[in-house]
Structure 1
Amino acid sequence: MKSTITEAFDIIISKLESWLTTTIEYLPNFALAIFVLITAYFVAKYVNNITYKLVSKKVQQESVAQIISRISAVVLVIVGLYISLGILNLSKTLTSLLATAGVAGLAIGLALQNTLSNTVAGIVLSFRKKIQIGNWVETNGFSGEVIDINLKEFVLKEADNNIVIMPNKMILENPLKNYSLTTKMRVAIECGVGYESDLEQVKALTKETIANAFDQVESPEDVEFYFTEFGDSSINYLCRFWIDAENMLEKLRAKTTAIIEIKKAYDKAEINIPFPIRTLQFDNKLAFENPESLKEFSNN
């Protein structure tokens, strides 16, 4: 019995001695691994700050700049951890951890597919030079000023001051018209004049009125004018000209100014802008020719 206890005790002592020997042998490696981890941590913090400053110059959205800088820092920490485990001959352990993390990441990715797709779309939109905060855009049936692009949603403020919030994925997958990419917009005016009007006078007066009303229009020759059809009550035309504008509000203001000035000019020149006319016929030839039918109608 005593010999058995002594043997067990010797086994424990020898095991502890071997662990102690191993610990002493790996102490330099352990210190080096700790040094690598600490270095990776401080380098990651430095890279995080530098990346944030660089990305902030390209992207106006703070949330996007933060997540990109943090991703770069996490990548550096993972690299430092991998090197440290390699120094301790534990790289296989890290491989197992990464495999487990990959499986867990796949499961989480499938569960949060829409959220992740919106996040990725938000990052992509933030780096697109042709879509910036402050632009006037039209997409998915809405038109307004871009006031925010974050990791989840795309925010517009319409002309009536309503806020429209759309998932980033919808913006990336659908056509988008950006009115702010050019400094000029074309204004179109449709109107009609009476059949008694002198069409040459109407054309010349309209083009001259537009040229006088807008500094951007240098001469009447820069104004497009086309008669389009013989309408029910008027001869209709289309007038188009270019202005310096980057959003729809400026275009609407210019159109309003053009309509007011054209109306004043037409009133002064006594040019009629007719409204639709309907002729009502009250004579009933059938009733005059056959009075009995009128009696039958009144009795019913």
Structure 2
Amino acid sequence: MDIEKAWNLLAAKVMGWIRDFILLLPNLGVAVAVLVGFWLLAKLARNLLHRLLRRVSHSEQVNRLLGQTVFLALVATGLFISLGILGLQKTVASLLAGAGIIGLALGFAFQDIAANFMAGIYLSIEHPFRAGHLIASKDIQGVVKRVHLRWTEIRTPQGQIILVPNKQIFENPVTNFSATGQRRVDIKAGVSYGDDLEKVRRVALQALEAMPSRKPDTEVELYFEELSDSAINLVARFWIDFTSRQADYLRAKSEAIERLKKAFDQNGITMPFPTRTLDFAVKGGETLSQALEEVGIGRGGNGGRRPESSH
């Protein structure tokens, strides 16, 4: 009797499940259709976005990441809608709440990593610099080898490879020496107060204009900057073609200094070094020997000491 009763209860339960499943079939079909539709839409959106990103970003890593993010977002949206069609609103709410909590926890735990990822995406899309450009950020200077999602690979003039976090580059000023394809070389020097400044200007301009590394379509500029203690300071400026080789800049600057020094020497123009006038006397104009003789330390003197008396 008990076995028959248990069997009847089990059969009724199974029949109830079958009946509920049959009633659910239309909604289940719609839910599956919605999920498949969103999956196809996600694939189409990912491929389309990948093509568009190739026009603005040369980083395959960034392109794949953004495309996969859009794909997963659309698939997740389709999944939640399908669960809602099946009447599983509580399940959807639980999944959303759990995803929110997990996302919040991961956001705090990987805050710096996420910031580097976002900065890497920005650098890959905006292109403030490219691979092969010479840049400087804070106290780091070198040639960009590659922009990764988390860091930028830079080779210093000493041959070292530095992995700079993208967040650091994003938050600090960046100097791009290669962006314009040209670079200005500044040469500072000083000439004597006794030299003719018009002659100095003429000789310096002739020497620098003859440089083969100077851009022919630009002018050499020369300005007198300061009347210093021992010289009249000047600065000469000219432009060179520049991509990323720091050696080209240093070579042009070195050549300019050599040409300027040689031209000044050949034309009797003096580049004085700092001098000091020491005054040891109460009244100016006396020589050092005169001042020493006055205090008894001159030639043949006894150092200002009193002569010893003999008994």
Q: Same fold (TM over 0.5)?
A: yes
Provide the rounded CA distance (Å) in 2 between the counterparts of 1:53 and 1:133. Answer: 21
1:102 corresponding residue in structure 2: 100
Match of 2:297 among 288, 297, 300: 288
Q: Which letter does structure 1 place at the counterpart of 2:215?
A: Q
User: Are 1:210 and 1:217, in contact at CA under 8 Å, matched by a contact in 2?
Assistant: no
In structure 1, stretches of 5+ residues that fail to align are: 296-300
Three-state SS of the structure 1 residue aligned to 2:97 is: helix
User: Are 2:132 and 2:244, in contact at CA under 8 Å, matched by a contact in 1?
Assistant: no
Q: What is the TM-score normalised by the length of structure 1?
A: 0.83
1:37 corresponding residue in structure 2: 35
Say what the alpha-carbon RMSD is for the aligned residues: 2.9
Segments ≥4 residues shifted beyond 6 Å:
278-282
Three-state SS of the structure 2 residue aligned to 1:186 is: strand
Q: Which letter does structure 1 place at the counterpart of 2:91?
A: T
Q: What is the TM-score normalised by the length of structure 2?
A: 0.81
2:136 corresponding residue in structure 1: 138
Provide the rounded CA distance (Å) in 2 between the counterparts of 1:9 and 1:155. Answer: 72
Three-state SS of the structure 1 residue aligned to 2:90 is: helix
Match of 2:88 among 51, 71, 90: 90
2:24 corresponding residue in structure 1: 26
Q: What is the Cα deviation at residue 217 of structure 1? A: 4.4
Q: What is the Cα deviation at residue 58 of structure 1? A: 1.4
User: Are 2:297 and 2:304, in contact at CA under 8 Å, matched by a contact in 1?
Assistant: no
Provide the rounded CA distance (Å) in 1 between the counterparts of 2:269 and 2:130. Answer: 46
Provide the rounded CA distance (Å) in 1 between the counterparts of 2:55 and 2:69. Answer: 18
Q: What is the Cα deviation at residue 15 of structure 1? A: 1.2
Provide the rounded CA distance (Å) in 1 between the counterparts of 2:170 and 2:245. Answer: 22
Provide the rounded CA distance (Å) in 1 between the counterparts of 2:106 and 2:124. Answer: 24
Three-state SS of the structure 2 residue aligned to 1:180 is: coil
1:223 aligns with 2:220: yes
Q: Which letter does structure 1 place at the counterpart of 2:224?
A: F
User: Are 2:297 and 2:303, in contact at CA under 8 Å, matched by a contact in 1?
Assistant: no
Match of 1:236 among 214, 233, 254: 233
Provide the rounded CA distance (Å) in 2 between the counterparts of 1:33 and 1:238. Answer: 77
CA distance 1:287–1:226, shift in 2 (3 Å):
farther
CA distance 1:31–1:268, shift in 2 (3 Å):
same
Provide the rounded CA distance (Å) in 2 between the counterparts of 1:122 and 1:53. Answer: 19
Mapping for residues 236-255 of structure 1, pairs under 5 Å: 236-247=233-244, 249=246, 250-255=248-253
1:225-256 deviation digits (Å, cap 9, x = unpaired): 22234455543311123334355724333322
Provide the rounded CA distance (Å) in 1 between the counterparts of 2:15 and 2:304. Answer: 128
1:117-151 deviation digits (Å, cap 9, x = unpaired): 11112112222233333332221222222222222
1:202 aligns with 2:200: yes
In structure 2, stretches of 5+ residues that fail to align are: 279-286, 307-311
Provide the rounded CA distance (Å) in 2 between the counterparts of 1:95 and 1:44. Answer: 23
Mapping for residues 51-66 of structure 1, pairs under 5 Å: 51-66=49-64
User: Are 2:185 and 2:240, in contact at CA under 8 Å, matched by a contact in 1?
Assistant: yes
Percent identity over paired residues: 36
Provide the rounded CA distance (Å) in 1 between the counterparts of 2:21 and 2:133. Answer: 63
User: Are 2:192 and 2:230, in contact at CA under 8 Å, matched by a contact in 1?
Assistant: yes
Number of equivalent positions = 292
Three-state SS of the structure 2 residue aligned to 1:291 is: coil
2:122 corresponding residue in structure 1: 124
Provide the rounded CA distance (Å) in 2 between the counterparts of 1:293 and 1:64. Answer: 85
Match of 1:81 among 76, 79, 86: 79
User: Are 2:190 and 2:231, in contact at CA under 8 Å, matched by a contact in 1?
Assistant: yes
